[in-house]
């Protein structure tokens, strides 16, 4: 089995580690930031890394040699259209041109359709009822549509995964950096907000299972059944760091003001539950992985001690 993963981020790193157990894995990157150099070192001996621009470079030969292709490219800010629409279009159309019959797994996001109530299930028809409220949501749904169009034209197996908040020991986005800094001083803001989440370990297991299943046109939410209190992430990190913990009640709106803008716009999804039925069918029972959160605190401390800034 040969697997090609586009994007060298923390999610791709977890996926590559899992798939390397049974597959020859290649991971692409456009540039090596300091954090991505750390990911590259983690994957040494597990995966081959190659520099590829998935929009500008010719991909047909590259995807034709893979039995499975995983698109893990995503962004919270910057050129969202390129990351969420142009990249999947380039990958999916190259697979259609290659005619290899490989399987494509496209990583999207749980909020791809915009706000849809307090309990969200898969729509009956793909992207039906989408109500995007910002560019992130609009481009995520459009990217999914592109995958459906190109994969339908190419006739190859494919699936779209919509994970909720993804956490894991190699997470290095700004929101995890904020939680880490709070955990270092033992400041646990009790804001009474729960978020739907899924570990990168279980996301990787889902990708592995779908590659083996070779579905045709599957789209599903990937989530743990029980939402997690936001303060649990910080409390677990603090315990892993050996910090003395002080819980401080705080209005949720005030706490959200401390978040970067790219994360703050997701605040409207706090308290939203996503149906976990599809996740259960694919993976069985999936629960909160405290060890991944604790490991993340130690990883972020490692980055801090090495002077590596977060992505």
Sign, CA torsion 300/305/308/309: positive
The model carries a pTM of 0.95
Taking the C-alpha atoms of residue 211 and residue 196, their distance in angstroms, rounded to an integer, is 25
Q: For residue 161, what are its two tokens?
A: 């995964």
Question: pLDDT by residue for the chain (311 residues), tens digit each?
Answer: 999 999 999 999 999 999 999 999 999 999 999 999 999 999 999 999 999 999 999 999 999 999 999 999 999 888 999 999 999 999 999 999 998 789 999 999 999 999 988 899 999 999 999 999 999 999 999 999 999 999 999 999 999 999 999 999 999 988 899 899 999 999 998 888 889 999 999 999 999 999 999 999 999 999 999 999 989 999 999 999 999 988 888 776 666 666 655 556 666 787 899 999 999 999 999 999 999 999 999 999 999 999 997 76
Taking the C-alpha atoms of residue 243 and residue 182, their distance in angstroms, rounded to an integer, is 10
């Amino acid at each position: 089995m040969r697997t090609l993963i586009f994007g060298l981020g923390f999610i791709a790193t977890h996926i590559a580690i899992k798939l390397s157990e049974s597959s020859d894995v290649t991971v692409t990157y456009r540039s090596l930031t300091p954090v991505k150099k750390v990911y590259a070192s983690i994957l040494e001996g597990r995966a081959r890394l190659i520099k590829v621009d998935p929009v500008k470079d010719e991909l047909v030969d590259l995807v034709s040699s893979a039995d499975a292709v995983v698109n893990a490219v995503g962004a919270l800010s910057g050129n969202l259209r390129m990351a969420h629409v142009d990249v999947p279009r380039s990958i999916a159309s190259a697979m259609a041109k290659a005619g290899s019959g490989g399987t494509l797994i496209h990583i999207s996001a749980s909020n791809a359709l915009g706000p849809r109530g307090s309990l969200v299930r898969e729509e009956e028809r793909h992207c039906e009822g989408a109500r995007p409220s910002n560019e992130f949501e609009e481009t995520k749904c459009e990217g999914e549509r592109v995958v459906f169009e190109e994969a339908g034209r190419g006739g190859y197996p494919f699936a779209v995964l919509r994970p909720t908040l993804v956490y894991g020991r190699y997470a290095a986005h700004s929101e995890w950096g904020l939680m880490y800094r709070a955990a270092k001083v033992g400041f646990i803001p009790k804001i009474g907000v729960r978020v739907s989440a899924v570990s990168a370990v279980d996301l990787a297991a889902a990708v592995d299972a779908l590659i083996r299943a070779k579905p045709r046109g599957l789209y599903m939410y990937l989530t743990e059944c029980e939402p997690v209190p936001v303060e649990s992430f910080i409390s677990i990190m603090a315990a892993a760091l050996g910090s003395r913990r002080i819980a401080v009640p705080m209005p949720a709106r005030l706490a959200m003001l401390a978040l970067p803008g790219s994360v703050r716009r997701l605040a409207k999804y706090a308290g939203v539950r996503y149906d976990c039925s599809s996740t259960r069918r694919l993976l069985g029972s999936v629960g909160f992985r405290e060890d991944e959160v604790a490991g993340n605190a130690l990883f972020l401390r490692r980055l801090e001690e090495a002077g590596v800034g977060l992505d």
